[in-house]
């Protein structure tokens, strides 16, 4: 066995936990991951990515810090991550590790890997393309003497959803071209995303459930391809020496909340992500109820590796939550989004407060309040009928912001990243936002990807 365990990290983009059969989803979307974790691993029921989308999500995942600690909240983050914080590969290098990152070159949150490998992450064969890059690299890493970290950014749950046959109809038996079905009408009418959807939705498609089934089919396809990597790890004799992890930078909006087939907003379908771990050196099996966040990931992995880098992380070591010893709870926390909208808020086990920092292109209310116990899907906005609750949660949020600003010596990045939208200033109206923001087609998306990569952003 290696002096330190290897780390095989599936950092899957846009994977919402409630669409994984591992978490009780009615469709069998992740059978191989389910079996792998349930026969020898553990997973967290309430893992959250509180700062969406990609750049801040991965920043927290790979550093152990919250958005105040990383100073990163926007997709279009300017510059590099703060030089005073270390990423996971940078920390591990001090302990003899080598590291490889597949599919995340150019993003400031992916700093510090020894090797970067590209793959065709926008092709219809996303996961197979990943295997074509990952399996040879896994073989190379296993053959070396040093422990290693292999980070893979699977893109299958990220739109466009390219579910290959037979996965495209694995969860759908209807007629996606039924002219009496009008469920996609509002999607086609949403001007900022319409041109993009038209290029990857089947021509004439009318049924939103078909598109949802493509997301689920893409996850199932990815799960089957991931099993090839797990089988290769086992065949190479490295499974017992390796910590295997499944997590995500954020979830996904499907037909929820009119935020169609993307990953913006602060509803739980975007915030709630998986965290599942298997490691023979930590033989606990089951699931954990504790509320946790992506900032807890690095301290937990380092603990499993037996590494104490002497860093005061914002996150917590979750291993004691797994063993039953228990850790202090963080049941309420700050949430942020700077993707297609700029909003922040406060989440408790009972309440979700969302406050807009500028008008959004969905013309949503400036203040939203949801009772997560009575209304877990967050469709009944109580902001007007519960002003005292809004005031109380706003005060809790603002006190937290002041506390973290004092601790970091920096202004809340939600207040300073005013070029989050690429226009250099906040929007003054929902009409301006609606008429300004646009994504075109897969080719345009690829160009956008390349442009963002040149800017140090990748989503």
Q: Which of 299, 323, 347 is the last residue of a domain?
A: 323
pLDDT in tens, 332-361: 999 999 999 999 999 999 999 999 999 999
Domain membership of residue 184 (yes or no) is no
pLDDT in tens, 126-136: 999 999 999 99
126-143 vs 208-235: helix crossing angle, rounded to 10:
20
Nearest-CA neighbor of 221 among 407, 397, 33?
Answer: 33
The pLDDT of residue 342: 97
Check whether residue 316 and residue 350 sit in a common domain.
no
pLDDT higher than 50, residue 455? no
Taking the C-alpha atoms of residue 381 and residue 378, their distance in angstroms, rounded to an integer, is 7
Domain membership of residue 194 (yes or no) is no
Q: Which residues pair with 117 in a beta bridge?
A: 102
Nearest-CA neighbor of 49 among 289, 415, 334, 331?
Answer: 334
Check whether residue 317 and residue 337 sit in a common domain.
no
Domain membership of residue 191 (yes or no) is no
Q: Domain span at residue 439?
A: 333-454
Domain membership of residue 200 (yes or no) is no
pLDDT tier, 439 (very low <50, low <70, confident <90, very high otherwise)? confident
Check whether residue 22 and residue 134 sit in a common domain.
yes
Q: Which of 265, 296, 323 is the last residue of a domain?
A: 323
CATH number assigned to the domain comprising residue 234: 3.40.720.10
Give the total number of structural domains in the chain.
2
Q: Please name the residues in contact with 110: beta carbons below 8 A apart, sequence gap of 6 or more.
A: 58, 62, 87, 101, 104, 116, 151, 458
Check whether residue 254 and residue 302 sit in a common domain.
yes
Q: In this structure, what are the phi and psi dihedrals at residue 44, rounded to the nearest 5 degrees?
A: -105, 125
Confidence (pTM): 0.94
Count of other CB atoms within 10 angstroms of residue 310: 5
pLDDT average, residue stretch 419-432: 92
pLDDT average, residue stretch 383-406: 98
Check whether residue 237 and residue 317 sit in a common domain.
yes
Check whether residue 234 and residue 378 sit in a common domain.
no
Check whether residue 306 and residue 354 sit in a common domain.
no
pLDDT average, residue stretch 24-36: 98
Domain membership of residue 127 (yes or no) is yes
C-alpha dist (Å) from residue 168 to 129, 162, 165, 197: 18, 8, 5, 17
Q: Which of 300, 323, 346 is the last residue of a domain?
A: 323
Domain membership of residue 26 (yes or no) is yes
The pLDDT of residue 245: 98
In the block, tokens 């550093």 appear at 63
CATH number assigned to the domain comprising residue 394: 3.30.1120.10
CB 304 within 8 A of CB 282: yes
Domain membership of residue 193 (yes or no) is no
pLDDT average, residue stretch 363-375: 98
pLDDT tier, 1 (very low <50, low <70, confident <90, very high otherwise)? very low
3-state helix, strand, coil in the chain (%, to 5): 40, 15, 45
pLDDT average, residue stretch 60-79: 94
User: Of 1 and 223, which is predicted with more confidence?
Assistant: 223
CB 445 within 8 A of CB 155: no
Q: What percent of the chain has pLDDT over 70?
A: 95
Check whether residue 307 and residue 358 sit in a common domain.
no
The pLDDT of residue 449: 43
The pLDDT of residue 102: 98
pLDDT in tens, 122-175: 888 999 999 999 999 999 999 999 999 999 999 999 999 999 999 999 999 999
Name the pairing type of β-strands 41-48 and 286-293. parallel
In the predicted model, what is the mean pLDDT of the chain? 94
Check whether residue 221 and residue 348 sit in a common domain.
no
Domain membership of residue 375 (yes or no) is yes
Check whether residue 222 and residue 92 sit in a common domain.
yes
pLDDT higher than 80, residue 457? no
Check whether residue 50 and residue 99 sit in a common domain.
yes
Q: What percent of the chain has pLDDT over 90?
A: 88
Check whether residue 241 and residue 155 sit in a common domain.
yes
pLDDT in tens, 267-320: 999 999 999 999 999 999 999 999 999 999 999 999 999 999 999 999 999 999
């Amino acid at each position: 066995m290696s002096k330190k365990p290897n780390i095989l990290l599936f950092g899957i983009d846009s994977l919402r936990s409630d669409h994984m059969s591992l978490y009780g989803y009615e469709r069998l979307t992740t059978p191989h991951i389910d079996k792998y974790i349930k026969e020898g691993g553990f997973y967290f029921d309430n893992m959250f990515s509180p700062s969406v989308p990609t750049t801040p999500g991965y920043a927290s995942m790979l550093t152990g810090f919250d958005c105040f600690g990383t100073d990163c909240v926007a997709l279009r983050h300017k510059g590099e991550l703060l030089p005073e914080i270390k990423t996971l590969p940078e920390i591990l290098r001090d302990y003899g590790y080598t590291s490889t990152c597949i599919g995340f070159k150019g993003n400031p949150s992916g700093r510090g890997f020894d090797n970067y490998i590209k793959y065709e992450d926008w092709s219809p064969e996303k996961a197979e393309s990943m295997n074509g890059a990952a399996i040879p690299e896994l073989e190379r890493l296993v053959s070396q003497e040093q422990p290693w970290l292999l980070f893979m950014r699977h893109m299958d749950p990220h739109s466009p959803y390219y579910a290959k046959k037979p996965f495209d109809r694995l969860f759908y038996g209807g007629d996606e071209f039924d002219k009496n079905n009008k469920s996609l009408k509002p999607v086609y009418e949403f001007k900022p995303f319409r041109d993009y959807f038209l290029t990857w939705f089947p021509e004439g498609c009318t049924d939103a459930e078909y598109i949802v089934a493509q997301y689920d089919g893409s996850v199932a396809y990815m799960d089957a391809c991931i099993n090839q990597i797990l089988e290769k790890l086992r065949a190479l004799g490295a499974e017992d020496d390796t910590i295997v992890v499944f997590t995500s930078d954020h979830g996904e909006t499907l037909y929820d909340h009119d935020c169609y087939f993307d990953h913006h907003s602060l509803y739980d379908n975007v915030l709630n992500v998986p965290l599942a771990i298997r490691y023979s050196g930590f033989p606990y099996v089951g699931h954990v109820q504790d509320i946790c966040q992506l900032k807890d990931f690095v301290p937990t992995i380092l603990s499993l590796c037996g590494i104490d880098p002497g860093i005061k992380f914002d996150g917590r070591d979750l291993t004691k939550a797994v063993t039953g010893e228990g850790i202090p709870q963080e049941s309420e926390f700050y949430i942020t989004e700077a993707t297609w909208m700029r909003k922040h808020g406060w989440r408790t086990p009972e309440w979700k407060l969302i406050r807009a920092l500028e008008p959004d292109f969905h013309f949503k209310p400036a203040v939203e309040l949801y009772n997560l116990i009575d209304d877990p899907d967050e469709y009944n906005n109580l902001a007007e009928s519960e002003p005292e609750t809004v005031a109380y949660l706003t005060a809790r949020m603002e006190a937290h912001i002041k506390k973290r600003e004092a601790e970091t010596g920096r202004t809340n990045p939600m207040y300073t990243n005013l070029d989050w939208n690429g226009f250099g200033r906040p929007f003054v109206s929902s009409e301006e936002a609606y008429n300004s923001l646009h994504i075109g087609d897969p080719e345009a998306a690829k160009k956008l990807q390349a442009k963002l990569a040149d800017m140090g952003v990748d989503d």
